[in-house]
Amino acid sequence: MSFTLYLIYDIFAICPVVENGIAEIEEIEIFTKDYNYYLHLVMAILNRKVLCHFSLPDMAISRQFDVELSRISTFQMGGKVAELVSVETEQDLKELFMSMAPDRKWFILGGGSNVVFPDGDSDITLIQFTPQPIRFEKKSEEEIYLIAPAGAVWDTVVAEAVEHGLSGIEALSAIPGSVGATPIQNVGAYGVEIADVFDSVRAFDTETKKHITLSNSDCRFGYRDSMFKHEGKGRYIITEVTYLLSTDEPNVPQYPGVAEYLAGKNITRASLSDIRDAIISIRSSKLPDPRTIPSVGSFFKNPFVPIELATKLKAEFPSLAVFPVNESLSKVGAGSLIDVAGLKGKRFGNISIYKNNALVLVNEGGATREELKNVVAMIVDEVQKKFGVAIEPEPELLEF
């Protein structure tokens, strides 16, 4: 107890005191083993009106308290979270969980580009991996493993793969977020999914407190889906992902926009860089930059419908984007459904449907979770009534 009291006294000794005896300070560093107990005590004493950053000498762990969720998500929505912890290594993560109370609520945060936070204050620990270097390992002359830590920025990984002449993920360029999220969501675009290049994942099992390796089949990938969204949710934390890439010539995505870009540049034999440049150009023209326009990119998943319904809809609404999947199913572009329903560019309070892409919802400033919930429900209802097709959100709408 005397050790804890001494630290608290020391904090007040270096903090300016303002009204009501509340200490205000931007950043402090403290080194102790018994951090989980006394940090919460300090925060209680300071009435949670201080943003603190704590680092520990033997672990690459840092902590921030009372973090504004709108600052760490591209949709810029949400209240405050009790603490945000940054870790670097698998061992850091294990040490963190060994120190936390068993009933402590936690959530793994990637780049904040595919989540929508709740309003109000949340007594939960957000955990985020700091970006670390990737590495390559040779499997054969034609196949190379790309091994990336969970905190690595996804588009940086794609850029490095292209730079090394490795094909397989170039069509996934310019997708925001971190590596750790790619298997969870089975991220995909332009005919490519993570499942196509996924070899294995290292994960921390929060139940056994051990690190394990999961194969492609273990992850049970589906369209924007994996077992990490179901039985693995809240149990496994991805720490590292291994992708199997190729030294062969790349496959050019068979999409009109890509073909138009390449034709406009007089490119007849596209390189990896050509394909990446095409994807970046197309995405930048259709999707807003979340640094200036708050969004989470595509807000709705593209629905799969019976091919008979798809044929009927295409005949009635020729501008709908319909893609045959197999003999019984077709995929319909959710954005085209919303567009043809007449909602593109419309604003509803502080939420709008992006003028350049009906698949994107924009926070115009000060939007609340309730507003978003109502707008999403309205869009889903309008699409269902007009086309008889159900669409659902793609980002994770968090409730702590």
Across residues 74-97, what is the average pLDDT? Answer: 95
298 is annotated as an active-site residue: yes
- Give me the helix-helix angle, 154-163 and 272-286, nearest 10°: 150
**In this model, does residue 204 exceed pLDDT 50?**
yes
The larger pLDDT score, comparing residue 17 to residue 170, is at 170
The CA distance from 373 to 75, in Å, is 14
pLDDT value of residue 124:
96
| Residue 183: pLDDT band with limits 50, 70, 90 | very high
pLDDT value of residue 59:
54
pTM over cut 0.75 = yes
What are the structural domain ranges in the chain? 2-129, 135-248, 288-397
Choose, from 48, 220, 224, 235, the residue flagged as catalytic.
224
Choose, from 86, 298, 330, 352, the residue flagged as catalytic.
298
CATH for 288-397 is: 3.90.78.10
pLDDT value of residue 107:
96
Residue 3, classified by CB atoms within 10 Å of its CB into exposed (0-12), middle (13-18) or buried (19+), is: exposed
Q: Which class does domain 2-129 fall in?
A: alpha beta
135-248 and 288-397 share one CATH topology?
no
The CA distance from 400 to 118, in Å, is 7
Q: Which fold has domain 135-248?
A: 3.30.465
Across residues 196-220, what is the average pLDDT? Answer: 97
Closest CA to 224 of 279, 173, 184: 184
